[in-house]
Amino acid sequence: MSSSSSDEIDERLDEVLDEIVEDVYNDIVEAQPNMQNTRGYIERDREGGHTRLVNDYFRENATYSAQFRRRFRMNKGLFMRIVLALQENFVFFQQRPDATGRLGHSPLQKCTAAIRLLAYGTGADTVDEYLRLAETSALLCLHNFTDGIIQLFGDEYLRRPTPDDLQRLLDIGEKRGFPGMIGSIDCMHWEWKNCPTAWK
């Protein structure tokens, strides 16, 4: 066999293999569905969530006004002070229309979601059914809420205690039977048979 016929066979074989590989590749690519990640829209009735929240906690003669402090872990006046301060100072907490002209979530819904996540330590998807916020929206509320609290109230409340603050806390602890205690109970000032320190 001459080298020229061998070269021709090699070239023809390369062409055939290239055609087969291209056909297989095209079949695979064309068979793949479009992998674009599009989320489906879920109508959550955010207006209904706001109305329910106001009727349950914030209107006069609200359904659960007696339970407000227990459920929000603060009194209503303090909560409203926080909501109004965040609404005045941060665009995120202002209720604005979306692209379709519908109003977005209210400041009450956003702050309530953040407070509930902080107070109960639950997952972000737990506020969906009552407040009508998606998990990602609830996490965004929590993030903006904590940033806003630090910026607005950090200097006043998130600071080291002054000597007067420490003395007041020591006096309260002593009245309650824990003399010299600042912070959590660490088994140093009272006897407890199952105390981890005693076990050592």
The three-point CA angle 23-28-31 to 5° equals 120
Domain membership flag for residue 59: yes
Q: Which domain holds residue 152?
A: 46-157
* Rounded Cα gap, residues 42 and 44, in angstroms: 6
- Of 137, 147, 146, the C-alpha closest to 105 is 137
Tell me, yes or no, whether 27 lies in a domain: no
What would the DSSP string read from start to end of 26-38? Answer: HHHHHHSPP----
In a domain, 105, yes or no: yes
**pLDDT given at position 140:** 95
CB count in 10 Å sphere of residue 129: 10
Are 95 and 121 members of one domain? yes
Same domain, residue pair 114 and 55? yes
Q: Is residue 80 part of a domain?
A: yes
Query: How many domains would you assign to the chain?
Result: 2
Give the residue ranges of the chain where pLDDT is below 70.
1-3, 29-37, 39, 183-200
Please state the pTM of the whole predicted model.
0.64
Whether residue 95 contacts residue 104, with contact meaning beta carbons closer than 8 Å, is answered with: yes
Q: What tokens appear for 73 in the block? A: 């872990």
DSSP letter at 75?
A: -
| DSSP per-residue letters across 151-174 | HHHHHHHSSPPPHHHHHHHHHHHH
Q: Is 132 helix (H, G, I), strand (E, B) or coil?
A: coil
- Given this model, what pLDDT does residue 27 score? 72
Q: What integer pLDDT is reported at residue 1 of this predicted model? A: 53
Q: Does residue 13 form part of some domain?
A: no
